[in-house]
Amino acid sequence: MARLPGILQNQIEALAGQLLAAPGVPRTDFAAPPGEPALLAPDSVSWRVFDNPVTLFVGGIAAVLLELAEPRIRHGVWDHSDFRANPLARLQRTGLAALVTVYAPESQARAMIAGVTRAHGDVTGTTPAGEAYSASDPDLLDWVGATALYGFMEAYSRYDRPLSPADKDRVFAEGRVTAGLYGATGAPGSVGGWDALLARMTPRLEPSETLLEFLAIMRRVPALPAAARPLQHVLIRAAVDILPPGIAAQLRIADRGLRPLERPLVQAAARTAGAILIRNWPSVAACRRLGLPDDWLQRRD
């Protein structure tokens, strides 16, 4: 476990607290009630994958790129959300929802998911091409959930610690536990299932100005402190790099991936983040709730 000077440790924990304080979202107490299990067990692969804030950031951007590439999802997100007006708050809410799903007490996670599914019921419309869409469509929910798992898993495996094929299968199998609660009835339960879903969806994925606008917003939004803003730009390019083979070229953003010599920088940032004990991070609070040491995940690794 890495140890940092007190001032730097405090700054990182202050940033973590800021990221977890999503506007308009009730605060989740990951440390209580004592003993209440999460939807996933501490020895799950997902507990490891979601513990790294750097790879979560990278994987989340990759997932959104894959989602916005599908025209029905693109218009559902872009036409029915405040992402353009308040992108940081939207990112905070999305990231917090992922962490609640994995680490929060099961009762709180189920309540949060129920609220999300109720909100999805109001998101309907028609694309300019005449395709009807609904945020409650199980097929679209399958894609949204699977792309999120793929992004988080691939970012962790590529930039922090490589996951074995069996571990990657477990990530998708664990994801099915929560996917069904969101209404995704055909979520892949293995890498093979993901590959089949990707093959089915790839012909629908298309370039758009929205994708370019999203990347521009992500470069502008102050997700990291000013001193770390250059790293933020590199992490965005790292997200393009982990898209499935051929997809970045299909979306016409292949030139926005990592530049020479940037991959070691991303790996260093990710591995450092994975080794640091961030005392107010949800995984640490969840360990306390379950009677495990604060550094249980670091010891396990």
User: What is the rounded end-to-end Cα distance, in angstroms, of the chain?
Assistant: 10
HSE value, Cβ hemisphere, 13 Å, CA-based, for 67: 26
Q: Structure tokens of 155? A: 């970012």
Chain segment 206-215, per-residue pLDDT in tens: 999 999 999 9
At 96, the amino acid letter reads L
pLDDT of amino acid 2: 57
Q: Which residue, 258, 240, 204, is CA-closest to 71?
A: 204
Comparing CA positions, the residue from 50, 217, 77, 57 lying closest to residue 143 is 77
Could you tell me the pLDDT band of residue 3, with boundaries at 50, 70 and 90? low
Mean pLDDT within 44-62: 94
Quote the pLDDT of residue 24: 63
pLDDT of residue 170: 98
Residue 272 has pLDDT above 90, yes or no: no
pTM: 0.93
Q: What percent of the chain has pLDDT over 90?
A: 69
Name the least confident of 57-61, 78-82, 155-159, 265-269: 78-82
Per-residue pLDDT band for 5 (boundaries 50, 70, 90) equals: low
Q: What is the pLDDT of residue 18?
A: 65
pLDDT for 280 beyond 90: no
Q: What mean pLDDT do residues 83-97 have?
A: 80
pLDDT digits (tens, 9 = 90+) for 104-145: 999 999 999 999 898 888 889 999 999 999 989 999 999 999
Q: What is the pLDDT of residues 158-178, one digit of tens each?
A: 999 999 999 999 999 999 989
Tell me the residue type at 205.
Answer: L
**What are the backbone angles phi and psi of residue 239, rounded to the nearest 5°?**
-65, -40
- Read off the DSSP letter of residue 2: B
**The total number of residues written for the chain in this structure:** 301
Q: Provide the residue type at 126 as one letter.
A: T
pLDDT on residue 82: 77
Half-sphere exposure of 225 toward its Cβ, with a 13 Å CA cutoff? 10
pLDDT for res 13? 73
Distance CA(44)–CA(128), nearest Å, equals 42
